[in-house]
Amino acid sequence: MAQITITGVNLAYSCDETDTILRAALRVGLGFPYECNVGSCGNCRFELVEGEVEHVRADPPAWSERDRQRKRYLGCQARPLGDCRIKVNLREHYKSTHPPKRTQAHLFVVEDITHDIREFRFRLEDPAPFLPGQYALLSIPEVVGARAYSMCNVTETGEEWHFQIKRVPSGAATERLFAAVGIGDTIAADGPYGMAYLREDAPRDILCIAGGSGLSPMISITRAAAASPKLAGRQVHFIYGGRGARDICGEPMLRCLPGFGERIFYHPAVSMQESDPGGLSWSGRVGFVPDIAKELFGEDLARFEIYFAGPPAMAEATMRMLLEMKVPPAQVHYDQFY
Ligand SMILES: Cc1cc2nc3c(=O)[nH]c(=O)nc-3n(C[C@H](O)[C@H](O)[C@H](O)COP(=O)(O)OP(=O)(O)OC[C@H]3O[C@@H](n4cnc5c(N)ncnc54)[C@H](O)[C@@H]3O)c2cc1C
């Protein structure tokens, strides 16, 4: 067990050799900045003042040559090789409501949602509650490195975590998960993580924007908003986008919520009407989800609390559109997918 001391604030915490400097800090309730947890965003960068660390992922995308020269490492990837002193600016905002736990997850339901999105439901050996919109790290057997997946359910006890996962062609984790992980199997899980969770105290209507793999956290947020007494008078608009008609999903999950059609609204859209390989026809909206949001709400976007999730290109386009529409950044919540 290594002792990690944060310089300047006179704080120290323990980190075992199988954990990382970021996650061990979050487990003891410290506000260590982060976002993706898989070495891609760089938000958890810290400076190593004394001691030695090694990165779990040898060459994470967010770790630059300049970082190496300046002895900066990524908290989500750095394992201590003995006691360390580090420099990082802790922020209140990053403190976990439910500190993350490492546990075993037993798969008990697998259900197809579309041709390439499947729901996987796990029961946890050690229950861990989470906030709607948060994610966990799943270690898929024989795949190097854990992957981040957002939960789609709502739970108080944290006994079950359900995930809606999109199969990525030739993707190391998803190909393996879809082909070789079945009911009765157990995998290692670690969570919850993430800052893009439902703000029940925000006095605004809610807009959820999801593209493809972003379905899961937006479903969790909408389910929780539908059930929240604090949000009882609020509208929830759910925009979901896919390439063609066969990619469109989510409506049956929302239709069973109280208030569907009265204060909960579903707006699906395809980006490529003409080329659905499934041969399904489409007579609904056509366009990319940020454009659909702008078309539907225009200047009114600034009156919403906005949550979004999906592939990087969709997330970047959504962020650009929200900036252009002058939506206050404090009303926008997302964890970038990689
Ligand atoms: C916060 C967050 C939430 C997400 N939620 C969802 C979700 O709800 N549903 C969903 O379908 N997808 C989600 N994703 C995307 C998911 O984590 C995977 O990127 C995706 O499933 C592709 O994984 P793959 O291994 O099949 O594909 P690949 O193309 O083989 O791998 C892609 C991803 O794995 C990372 N990776 C590669 N090697 C390593 C390693 N050694 N250690 C760690 N990471 C590595 C890459 O940087 C890249 O991000 C989320 C991602 C993030 C960051």
pLDDT value of residue 276: 63
Please indicate, yes or no, whether residues 154 and 238 belong to a single structural domain of this protein.
no
Residue 239 domain flag = yes
What's the CATH code of the domain at 156? 2.40.30.10
Residue 198 domain flag = no
Please indicate, yes or no, whether residues 61 and 160 belong to a single structural domain of this protein.
no
Residue 216 domain flag = yes
Atom of ligand 1 nearest to the CA of 36: 53
Please indicate, yes or no, whether residues 64 and 141 belong to a single structural domain of this protein.
no
Q: Is the pLDDT of residue 70 over 70?
A: yes
Please indicate, yes or no, whether residues 82 and 115 belong to a single structural domain of this protein.
no
Please indicate, yes or no, whether residues 322 and 211 belong to a single structural domain of this protein.
yes
pLDDT digits (tens, 9 = 90+) for 7-46: 999 899 999 999 999 999 999 999 999 999 999 999 999 9
Q: What average pLDDT does this structure show over 304-330?
A: 97
β partners of residue 150: 135
pLDDT value of residue 251: 98
pLDDT digits (tens, 9 = 90+) for 166-193: 999 999 999 999 999 999 999 999 999 9
Please indicate, yes or no, whether residues 261 and 182 belong to a single structural domain of this protein.
no
What's the CATH code of the domain at 8? 3.10.20.30
Looking at 146, 169, 193, which one is the last position of a domain? 193
CA of 11 to the centre of ligand 1 (A): 32
Please indicate, yes or no, whether residues 155 and 266 belong to a single structural domain of this protein.
no
Q: Is the pLDDT of residue 278 over 80?
A: no
Mean pLDDT, the chain, integer: 96
Please indicate, yes or no, whether residues 36 and 136 belong to a single structural domain of this protein.
no
CA of 293 to the centre of ligand 1 (A): 26
Please indicate, yes or no, whether residues 250 and 318 belong to a single structural domain of this protein.
yes
Residue 338 domain flag = no
Phi, psi at 239, each rounded to 5°: -100, 125
β partners of residue 160: 123
- Ligand 1 lining (C-beta closer than 6 Å): 36, 38-40, 57, 61, 135, 144-145, 147-150, 165-166, 168, 171-174, 194, 213, 216, 335, 337-338
pLDDT digits (tens, 9 = 90+) for 124-151: 999 999 999 999 999 999 999 999 999 9
Q: Are 318 and 196 in contact (CB under 8 A)?
A: no
Residue 12 domain flag = yes
Looking at 172, 193, 214, which one is the last position of a domain? 193
State which of 55, 56, 138, 147 you would mutate to test the pocket of ligand 1, scoring each by most atoms of that ligand within 8 A of its C-beta: 147
Counting residues of the chain whose pLDDT is more than 70, the rounded percentage is 99
pLDDT value of residue 10: 83
**Poorest-pLDDT segment among 54-58, 105-109, 133-137:** 54-58
What's the CATH code of the domain at 294? 3.40.50.80
Q: Is the pLDDT of residue 277 over 80?
A: no
The pairing of strands 11-15 and 2-6 is: antiparallel
Residue range(s) defining the domain that contains residue 169: 101-193
Atom of ligand 1 nearest to the CA of 37: 53
3-class state of residue 171 by DSSP:
coil
Please indicate, yes or no, whether residues 211 and 314 belong to a single structural domain of this protein.
yes
Q: How many domains does the chain have?
A: 3
Residue 199 domain flag = no
Looking at 94, 120, 147, which one is the last position of a domain? 94
Please indicate, yes or no, whether residues 85 and 178 belong to a single structural domain of this protein.
no
In the chain, which ranges are E strands? Answer: 2-6, 11-15, 45-50, 53-55, 72-74, 78-80, 84-87, 101-112, 117-124, 135-139, 147-150, 160-166, 186-193, 205-211, 236-242, 264-270, 285-286, 304-309, 332-333
CA of 278 to the centre of ligand 1 (A): 26
What the block records as the tokens of 77 is 């990837």
pLDDT value of residue 54: 96
